[in-house]
């Protein structure tokens, strides 16, 4: 059964259309990577799927139910949001943050029960960050902070994680570790929808990529079919070679690197019309 | 980047925060006993010194008729303790706790540890209301009503300005607060300008410097009940406050109806802060400093922070009030004392203060 279906969704502000007639079907356990230039509507689509915005046209179905008819707490029990890495203003402990994931299961004036604390502990254990439990979040590295938020999503009981550029701001090693955790969790049945700026991240996970440009879906399919030179040229206006390595996995190599010395790097580039 | 070296204050905080519930309970017990001690101790302090044993004798005699007190002395003690000192101490407790709790709540919901309860203009509006009342009405009750109403009106204007525009609600609220605060500050200048310079103007100026000397038992009851109720309600909402302090979108993704919760919390904080102006005029810096100090002691979790800052704020204001009436022959207005203590303190802790708004 389809997990999330986005049907004919359009969204815009008073004088600007951000998304036009978007259709995506996502099944349980998929890792979907949203690709597209700045301002293409990725973040908006993410917020629509979280139920934070309402589509102007069309509907989004969550396990067959129109999301606009679900209470926000019900949505939160099914879908968790992992935002871009941020600095919290307050030095909450990792435990405090992971416990916040239990809020959708609580009513007004709640206290965390023993059960909540043990669920939060389990979530931290699954991501091997139990040793950080009492550390202030503000003193963690970017990678540890992102794992904390993923642990919160798991404590939330959600089986679907929607991530807005989760790897932005992480160093190379932490990006890899985050992707590893995602792959591991997706094998356990978790669904991931993430936006990213680097096609490599989609290739590493090697599942599904959705390319969005100017508010419409440009391509949608398995990574090895969708991520190719022509699509990337059209999507980012950047010339990139996508190469197979040993027929096992693909990598992106910029033309500037492979054709270095021809008329100077970047001479043939057309400036992307400024949208952001 | 954070320096590796931790100061003692941060060390204490870490210890207290990571402690089991028993330890947290211990902190509350300690703070509560300290508050009790301060309150009783302050009963003994004043121009007319009373020994602690006199007070104990008086209380015993008053409530259980144990012991003996000279009737004349009894009457003197009764008016001194029950009519003058006790209301004043209770007012200090209420004002200190209210300002601290509303400051803590504002800092969490505006995701910025550097904001104070006056952010949305409640103190400016209340001051204007008080001045207006002093110039145009004779009765003290009317002045108090006026203070409360304009404190509320100022916040309504801030919220209204924020609602008029679309965009980042937190930022718009802050800008709305700047506008509304500026409006009422200028209106206050108008009132000062038209006030009679021999009687009214000094009264207004005195009021704006803050003071607990006008408190009486009746108004204490009327203002105290909503203040205590608001503190309790905000404490009950503290789990939501934690999530709100992660930013709007995360809080909404956790299933919290952010707009409504925030409006309700602003409403409660406004009641509390407006009532502090009604009771004691402008008392600055308490709502900014105390949440900070408390956060250093018990950590940022609002479930602990809110009640702890209420207790610490109450203790702080009792102490400052004692100092302001004991230090010199004339009483220093308490608002001046809190500012003079608060400003250098703030300058010192500023470095440790976490930046807000990115």
From the list A47, A96, A110, the residue facing B301 with the nearest CB is A96
Q: B251 by DSSP, 3-state: which? A: helix
The CA distances from residue B176 to A166, B116, B159, B277, B282, in Å, are 33, 15, 7, 21, 21
From the list B2, B246, B295, the residue facing A88 with the nearest CB is B246
Q: What is the pLDDT of residue A1?
A: 58
From the list B239, B247, B303, the residue facing A103 with the nearest CB is B239
Q: Does B232 touch chain A (CB under 8 A)?
A: no
Query: Which DSSP category does A217 fall into?
Result: E
CA distance B8 to A237: 54
What is the crossing angle of helices B122-136 and B140-164, to 10°? Answer: 140
Chain A hits for B11, CB-CB cut-off 8 Å, are none
pLDDT surpasses 60 at B219: yes
Q: Which of residues 92-121 of B touch A (CB under 8 A)?
A: 108, 111-113
Sign of CA dihedral A63, A31, B257, A120: positive
CA distance A216 to A235: 11
pLDDT tens column, B303-358? 999 999 999 999 999 999 999 988 888 888 999 999 998 889 888 877 665 544 33
* 8 A C-beta contact, residue A136 and residue B296: no
CA distance B251 to B257: 8
Q: What is the pLDDT of residue A226?
A: 92
Nearest CA in chain B to A132: B18
Query: Which DSSP category does B333 fall into?
Result: P
Nearest Cα to Cα of residue A124 among A167, A102, A104, A95: A95
Burial class from Cβ neighbours inside 10 Å (0-12, 13-18, 19+) for residue B180 reads buried
SS3 content of chain A, % helix, strand, coil (to 5): 35, 30, 35
**How would you classify the pairing of strands A79-82 and A160-163?**
parallel
* 8 A C-beta contact, residue B85 and residue B50: no
Q: A1 by DSSP, 3-state: which? A: coil
Chain B hits for A111, CB-CB cut-off 8 Å, are 239, 303
* 8 A C-beta contact, residue B318 and residue B86: no
Query: Please, what are the domains in chain A?
Result: 2-222 (3.40.50.300)
Q: What is the pLDDT of residue B12?
A: 38
**Residue A185: CB atoms within 10 Å:** 21
* 8 A C-beta contact, residue B115 and residue B102: no
Sign of CA dihedral A130, B110, B232, B294: positive
From the list A13, A50, A89, the residue facing B354 with the nearest CB is A89
Phi, psi of A212 (to 5 degrees): -120, 130
- Interface touch B242/A100, C-beta < 8 Å: yes
Contacts of B80 (CB under 8 A, 6+ apart): B46, B48, B50
Helices (H), A50-161: 72-78, 94-100, 114-126, 142-155
Q: How many residues does chain A have?
A: 276
pLDDT surpasses 50 at B118: yes
Nearest CA in chain B to A136: B14
Predicted interface score ipTM higher than 0.90? no
- Higher-scoring residue by pLDDT: B60, B42: B42
Q: Does B358 touch chain A (CB under 8 A)?
A: yes
Q: How far is A183 from chain B (nearest CA, A)?
A: 23
The CA distances from residue B292 to A72, B300, B308, B326, B350, in Å, are 33, 9, 11, 27, 10
The CA distances from residue B158 to A230, B107, B300, in Å, are 52, 17, 27
* CA A72 to chain CA mean position, Å: 20
Percent of chain B having pLDDT more than 70?
92
* 8 A C-beta contact, residue B86 and residue B125: no
- Interface touch A108/B355, C-beta < 8 Å: no
* 8 A C-beta contact, residue B277 and residue B147: yes
Q: Does B253 touch chain A (CB under 8 A)?
A: yes
Upper half-sphere CA count for residue A144 (Cβ side, 13 Å) = 15
Chain A hits for B166, CB-CB cut-off 8 Å, are 13
- Interface touch A90/B245, C-beta < 8 Å: yes
- Higher-scoring residue by pLDDT: B97, A224: B97
- Higher-scoring residue by pLDDT: A263, B46: B46
Q: How far is A180 from chain B (nearest CA, A)?
A: 24
Task: Answer yes or no: CATH 1.10.260.40 is held by domain B8-349.
Answer: no
- Higher-scoring residue by pLDDT: B63, A47: A47
Nearest CA in chain A to B243: A100
CA distance B68 to B57: 8
**pLDDT < 50 stretches in chain A:** 261-276
pLDDT tens column, A91-135? 899 999 999 999 999 887 788 999 999 999 999 999 999 999 999
Query: Which DSSP category does B98 fall into?
Result: H
Instruction: Give chain A's end-to-end CA distance (angstroms, integer).
Output: 36
From the list B17, B254, B303, the residue facing A76 with the nearest CB is B254
From the list A74, A104, A136, the residue facing B254 with the nearest CB is A104
pLDDT tens column, A209-226? 999 999 999 999 998 889
Q: What is the pLDDT of residue A10?
A: 94
Percent of chain B having pLDDT more than 90?
63
Upper half-sphere CA count for residue B129 (Cβ side, 13 Å) = 29
Q: Does B73 touch chain A (CB under 8 A)?
A: no
Q: How far is A95 from chain B (nearest CA, A)?
A: 10
Q: How confident is the model at residue B1 (pLDDT cuts 50, 70, 90)?
A: very low
From the list A75, A89, A103, the residue facing B245 with the nearest CB is A89
Name the residue ranges covered by the structural domains of chain B: 8-349
- Interface touch A108/B236, C-beta < 8 Å: yes
Q: What is the pLDDT of residue B10?
A: 38
Q: How confident is the model at residue B20 (pLDDT cuts 50, 70, 90)?
A: low
Q: How far is A171 from chain B (nearest CA, A)?
A: 16
Q: How confident is the model at residue B21 (pLDDT cuts 50, 70, 90)?
A: low
**How would you classify the pairing of strands A160-163 and A57-62?**
unpaired
Contacts of A29 (CB under 8 A, 6+ apart): A186, A187, A189, A190, A191
- Interface touch B246/A112, C-beta < 8 Å: no
pLDDT tens column, B193-207? 999 999 999 999 988
Q: Does B229 touch chain A (CB under 8 A)?
A: no
* 8 A C-beta contact, residue A210 and residue A32: yes
**Residue B197: CB atoms within 10 Å:** 10
Nearest CA in chain B to A158: B254
What is the pTM for the complete model shown?
0.88
């Amino acid at each position: 059964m389809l997990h999330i279906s986005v049907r004919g969704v359009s969204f815009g502000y008073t004088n600007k259309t951000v998304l036009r007639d978007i259709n995506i079907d996502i099944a349980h356990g998929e890792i979907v990577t949203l690709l597209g230039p700045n301002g293409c509507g990725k973040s908006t689509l993410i917020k629509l799927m979280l139920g934070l915005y309402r589509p102007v046209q069309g509907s989004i179905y969550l396990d067959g139910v129109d999301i606009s008819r679900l209470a926000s707490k019900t949505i939160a029990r099914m879908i968790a949001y992992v935002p871009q890495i941020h600095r919290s203003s307050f030095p909450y402990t990792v435990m405090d943050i992971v416990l916040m994931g239990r809020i959708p299961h609580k009513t007004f004036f709640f206290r965390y029960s023993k059960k909540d604390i043990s669920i939060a502990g389990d979530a931290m254990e699954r991501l091997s960050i139990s040793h950080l439990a009492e550390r202030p979040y503000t003193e963690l590295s970017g990678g540890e902070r992102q794992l904390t938020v993923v642990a919160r999503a798991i404590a939330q009981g959600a089986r679907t994680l929607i991530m807005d550029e989760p790897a932005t701001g992480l160093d190379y090693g932490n990006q890899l570790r985050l992707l590893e955790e995602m792959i591991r969790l997706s094998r356990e049945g978790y669904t991931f929808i993430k936006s990213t700026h680097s096609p490599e991240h989609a290739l590493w996970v090697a599942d599904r990529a959705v390319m969005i440009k100017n508010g419409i879906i440009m391509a949608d399919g398995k990574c090895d079919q969708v991520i190719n030179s022509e699509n990337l040229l059209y999507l980012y206006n950047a010339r990139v070679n996508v190469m197979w390595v040993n027929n096992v996995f693909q990598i992106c190599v910029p033309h500037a690197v492979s054709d270095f010395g021809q008329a100077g790097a970047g001479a043939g580039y057309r400036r992307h019309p400024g949208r952001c | 980047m954070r320096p590796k070296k931790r100061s003692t204050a941060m060390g204490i905080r870490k210890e207290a925060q990571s402690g089991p519930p028993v330890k947290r309970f211990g902190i509350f017990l300690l703070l509560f006993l300290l508050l009790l001690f301060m309150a009783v101790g302050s009963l003994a302090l004043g121009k007319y010194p009373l020994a602690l044993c006199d007070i104990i004798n008086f209380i015993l005699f008053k409530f259980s008729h144990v012991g003996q007190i000279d009737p004349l002395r009894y009457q003197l003690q009764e008016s001194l303790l029950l009519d003058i000192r006790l209301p004043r101490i209770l007012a200090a407790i209420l004002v200190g706790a209210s300002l601290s709790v509303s400051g803590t709540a504002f800092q969490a919901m505006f995701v910025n540890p550097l904001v104070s309860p006056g952010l949305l203009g409640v103190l400016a509006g209340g001051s204007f209301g008080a001045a207006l009342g002093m110039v145009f009405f004779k009765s003290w009750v009317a002045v108090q009503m006026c203070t409360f109403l304009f404190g509320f009106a100022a916040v309504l204007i801030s919220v209204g300005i924020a609602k008029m525009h679309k965009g980042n609600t937190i930022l718009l609220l802050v800008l709305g607060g700047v506008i509304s605060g500026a409006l009422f500050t200028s209106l206050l200048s108008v009132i000062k300008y038209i006030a009679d310079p021999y009687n009214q103007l000094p009264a207004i100026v005195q009021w704006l410097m803050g003071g607990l000397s006008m408190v009486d038992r009746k108004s204490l009851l009327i203002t105290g009940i909503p203040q205590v109720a608001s503190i309790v309600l905000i404490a009950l909402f503290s789990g939501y406050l934690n999530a709100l302090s992660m930013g709007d979108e995360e809080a909404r993704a956790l299933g919290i109806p952010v707009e409504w919760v925030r409006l309700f919390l602003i409403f409660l904080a406004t009641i509390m802060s407006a009532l502090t102006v009604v009771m004691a005029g402008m008392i600055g810096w308490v709502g900014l400093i105390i949440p900070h100090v408390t956060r250093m002691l018990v950590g940022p979790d609002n479930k602990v922070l809110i009640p702890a800052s209420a207790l610490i704020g109450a203790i702080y204001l009792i102490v400052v009030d004692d100092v302001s009436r004991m230090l010199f022959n004339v009483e220093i207005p308490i608002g001046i004392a809190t500012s003079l203590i608060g400003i250098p303190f703030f300058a010192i802790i500023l470095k440790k203060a976490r930046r807000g708004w990115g």
